[in-house]
């Protein structure tokens, strides 16, 4: 009986705690070369469920600068990659032309989360481009090097399970690259 009571209390605590990733404020600590920098996510209301987090970049000893990303709920993520990630909680990967590719996870409930791409200058931290959402993700992000760019495993389409009628995501590889100094991304395979 005592074990049952402890189990019930444990489940009640977990249910009330919610998702630990959904925090009103958090900071991704980063280091590129000899420069420490951070990306801060801060809810204006103090309530993460209001989807009002502003995103700021603090490069070295410079004053923080707001990144031109729509207010939303951004959550820390794990990125499995064969390339060096310069941050914890978000992705920051070496990019052609002396730049860094930032990959940020946006909670897009009730749908799956979205992967957002930003390119910054690796020497000054200046914004080069807000590349917007790349696609949906449901688990950890998988990012593999390919030439000067990457391959990211994202959810490309949804299908109905013939057995029980439930839905499932079909992942596919998206290539991320640079052409004439511009960020480009496309699915590796044509739709069937």
Number of domains in the chain: 1
5 in a structural domain: no
pLDDT score for 192:
52
14 in a structural domain: no
pLDDT at 149 over 90: yes
50 in a structural domain: yes
pLDDT in tens, 1-21: 444 343 333 333 333 344 556
pLDDT score for 10:
39
Structure pTM? Answer: 0.84
47 in a structural domain: yes
8 in a structural domain: no
pLDDT score for 34:
93
pLDDT score for 157:
79
How many C-beta atoms surround the C-beta of residue 173 within 10 A?
16
pLDDT in tens, 75-100: 999 999 999 999 999 999 999 999 99
Q: What is the mean pLDDT of residues 19-29?
A: 82
Q: What is the mean pLDDT of residues 33-38?
A: 94
78 in a structural domain: yes
Residues 6+ apart with CB under 8 A from 85: 79, 91, 92, 93
143 in a structural domain: yes
Judge whether 129 and 123 are in contact, CB under 8 Å. Answer: no
45 in a structural domain: yes
**Domain range for 41:** 20-187
């Amino acid at each position: 009986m005592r074990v049952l009571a402890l189990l019930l209390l444990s489940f009640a605590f977990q249910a009330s705690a919610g998702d630990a990733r959904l925090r009103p404020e958090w900071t991704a600590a980063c280091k590129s070369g000899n420069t420490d920098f951070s990306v801060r996510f801060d809810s204006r209301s103090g309530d993460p469920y209001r989807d009002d987090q502003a995103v700021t970049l603090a490069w070295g000893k410079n004053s923080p600068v707001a990144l031109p990303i729509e207010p939303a709920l951004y959550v820390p993520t794990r990125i499995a990659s064969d390339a060096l990630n310069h941050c914890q909680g978000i992705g920051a990967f070496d990019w052609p032309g002396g730049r860094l590719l930032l990959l940020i996870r946006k909670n897009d409930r009730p749908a799956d989360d979205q992967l957002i791409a930003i390119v910054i200058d690796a020497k000054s931290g200046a914004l080069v481009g807000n590349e917007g959402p790349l696609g949906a993700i449901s688990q950890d992000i998988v990012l593999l090097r390919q030439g000067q760019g990457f391959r990211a495993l994202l959810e490309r389409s949804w299908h109905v399970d013939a057995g029980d009628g439930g839905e499932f995501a079909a992942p596919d590889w998206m290539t991320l690259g640079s052409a004439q100094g511009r960020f480009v991304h496309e699915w590796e395979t044509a739709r069937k």
